[in-house]
């Protein structure tokens, strides 16, 4: 629900932004500014965003040390371009903020910490020892003791879910 509320409020905030900017610079200039941000978004998506993702894929294949950073920067650029395509000034401001290298670095470090906390460290190559990382897990048996194939595991006799050969 916390994610849904800002998503529902965004169109209202964008309309308020249009009204405010329109009152400051005029209606025609506002429309031209929105069209210009859309054109910049299209050009940016064509040139930098997808190219960065391609470079990161090549880096993964060749074994470079920083493919995750390159891929993340490419995805941030592509997401910024998509935000520029959405008509509105709030999404444009968010796109411009996402272009800042310190913001990207902070987001990447936050995402890396989140992945490590959840035990999902991403590695594309073997670890420093030359072997694949060992995944050590604990398991818990959740079967009911003493109730293997007994009739107690079956649904009640009048249930349509009971197998035909076990109905009474």
84 burial class (0-12, 13-18, 19+ CB within 10 angstroms)?
buried
pTM over 0.85: no
Q: Does any domain span residue 160?
A: no
Q: What is the DSSP letter of 153?
A: G
> 25: helix, coil or strand?
helix
| 79 part of a folded domain | yes
Q: Which residue has the tokens 């978004």?
A: 41
Q: Of residues 131 and 47, which shows the higher confidence score?
A: 47
Token digits for 136? 């050590």
CA dihedral 158, 159, 164, 165 (to 10 degrees): -60
> Percent of the chain scored above 90 by pLDDT?
26
Closest CA relative to residue 114, chosen from 63, 55, 72: 72
- In angstroms, the CA 100 to CA 103 distance is 5
Q: Does 163 reside within a domain?
A: no
Whether 85 is in a domain gets the answer yes
Tell me whether residue 159 is in a domain. Answer: no
What is the domain extent for residue 43? 9-117
Nearest to 94 by CA among 108, 109, 79: 79
So what's the pLDDT on residue 19?
Answer: 93
> How many domains in the chain?
1
Any domain includes 75? yes
**Max mean pLDDT range (27-36, 102-111, 117-126, 152-161):** 27-36
Query: Residue with structure tokens 């030359």?
Result: 130
The string of pLDDT tens digits covering residues 79-137 is 888 999 999 999 999 999 998 889 988 888 888 777 666 555 554 445 555 566 667 77
Q: Does some domain include residue 26?
A: yes
Q: Is residue 52 domain-resident? A: yes
- The C-alpha atoms of residue 65 and residue 57 are separated, in whole angstroms, by 12
Please check whether residue 103 is in contact with residue 97, taking contact to mean a CB–CB distance below 8 angstroms.
Answer: yes
Q: If you average pLDDT over each of 78-82, 139-143, 151-155, which comes out highest?
A: 78-82
């Amino acid at each position: 629900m916390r994610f849904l509320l800002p998503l529902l409020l965004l169109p209202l905030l964008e309309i308020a932004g249009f009204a405010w900017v329109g009152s400051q610079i005029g209606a025609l200039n506002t429309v031209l500014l929105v069209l210009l941000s859309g054109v910049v978004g299209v050009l940016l998506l064509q040139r930098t965003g997808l190219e960065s993702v391609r470079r990161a894929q090549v880096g993964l294949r060749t074994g470079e040390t920083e493919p995750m950073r390159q891929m993340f920067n490419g995805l941030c650029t592509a997401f910024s371009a998509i935000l520029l395509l959405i008509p509105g000034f709030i999404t444009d401001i968010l796109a411009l903020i996402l272009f800042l290298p310190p913001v990207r670095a902070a987001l990447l470090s936050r995402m890396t910490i989140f992945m490590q906390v959840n035990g999902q460290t991403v590695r594309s190559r073997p670890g420093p020892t030359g072997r694949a990382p060992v995944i050590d897990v604990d398991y818990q048996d959740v079967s009911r003791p003493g109730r293997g194939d007994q009739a107690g595991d079956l649904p009640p006799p009048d249930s349509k879910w009971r197998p035909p050969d076990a109905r009474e």
